[in-house]
Amino acid sequence: MTVAAQATPLPPLVAAADTLTAEELTRYSRQIVLPGFGPLGQGRLANARVLVVGAGGLGSATITALAALGVGTVGIVDADIVELSNLPRQSIHDPGSVGAGKAASAAASVRALATRTRAVVHDLRLTRENALGILGDYDLVLDGSDNFATRYLVNDAAAILGTPLVWGAVHRFGGQAGVCWAVHGPQYRDLFPQPPEPGSVPSCEEAGVLPSVCAVVGGIMVGEAVKLITGTGRTLLGRVTSYDALTGGFRELAYERDPEGAPITELVDYDAFCGTTPPGDTAGTVVRPTSITAPELARRLAAGEQLTVVDVREPWEAEIASIPGGLLKPLPGIEGWVGEVPAEGAVVLYCHHGIRSETARRRLAASGVEALSLTGGIDAWSLSVDPRVARY
């Protein structure tokens, strides 16, 4: 299949359960009466095994909805613990879960919501060593991870296994969702052949995310899961839907298989592929820090440490807000500043959110100058150090 998008319904993923109890017929009656769904569709949900990668914002929206729908088995992969700052968008966890493992916390919520749904906890980091074994136990994978290394890993493992994949991503006021299934159409690598430059896309911690966006994108992902499991409707295979909360609008992008793309036959080092760790054997080497947090910068400045703080934004931005005592060296001409770099003390670069300063750091590194990038930029400085600094 080489067309941009699925033209006809795909075959259902699983056979239906033999029977539904009277309680199940009552509980799921509002979805059973849907045209083309019926007891057969509900029976397929009851037999389905779905793995959710990530129990964060998208995981909260998808895991609870899958359980509420009556999906028979929901696996949860996450090695993180619940933090207080997670709660606004990760509604599957409550304040009592802070400090607990996210996978176990999410599973507890599933068991409280739907006693007939089997919740499987995978309290671990998905790696190329364990991915095929874990994904191989499920009919469908929903990827709500928050980093590109995991997204490529999940896609490649699903492609090797022939497993359909529903993916979602959120960022600030928007998000995307799509379906990949190498057996029937395009995959994630056809849409994104190469990952973005490290540091070019800020994390949720740096950029923020509107909690309701997680609910919207997660809802789309669950809808795709239902269609794949039951064989109803037209899935997002070969299409991406994007949501913008600031306008309330949706856009759609269709894409095709890359005719020159090679089949995926093995898993690779995804941290190296995405540039999140140095490639090769780093044993015995010293890895120098490349970033600094706002509180740490404030502490070092207060201690009188010799630091050169450099603003790589444009002059008009510096007029709105800046860190006292810093130099203004806009990013476009940063290489021209190399000859003026002080010989003593560390250099700290900052911008609005940390993206341009990371780019500047890499350019200076290529010229032989080591520097640190301020994580989260001046926004982080305003939030955690000096609220008098204007945010824009």
Q: Phi, psi (5° rounding) for residue 342?
A: -60, 145
- Cα separation of the two ends of the chain: 47
Return the sign of the alpha-carbon dihedral for residues 236, 240, 243, 249: negative
Local structure of 250: helix, strand or coil: strand
Question: Can you read off the two tokens belonging to residue 45?
Answer: 């949900």
- Under DSSP, the state recorded for 369 is -
Residue type, 70: G
| Distance separating alpha carbons of residues 242 and 236, to the nearest angstrom | 11
Neighbours of 88 (CB within 10 A): 12
| 304 Ramachandran zone, left/alpha/beta (phi>0; psi -120 to 50) | left
| Distance separating alpha carbons of residues 365 and 240, to the nearest angstrom | 37
Annotated catalytic residues are 204, 351
Local structure of 165: helix, strand or coil: strand
Closest CA to 62 of 170, 152, 137, 160: 170
- Residues contacting 104, CB < 8 A, separation 6+: 121, 123
Burial call 121-139: b when 16+ CB within 10 Å, e when fewer: bbbeebeeeebeebbeebb
C-alpha 164: how far from chain center: 18
- Cβ atoms of 174 and 208 closer than 8 Å: no
- Cβ atoms of 78 and 55 closer than 8 Å: yes
- Under DSSP, the state recorded for 81 is B
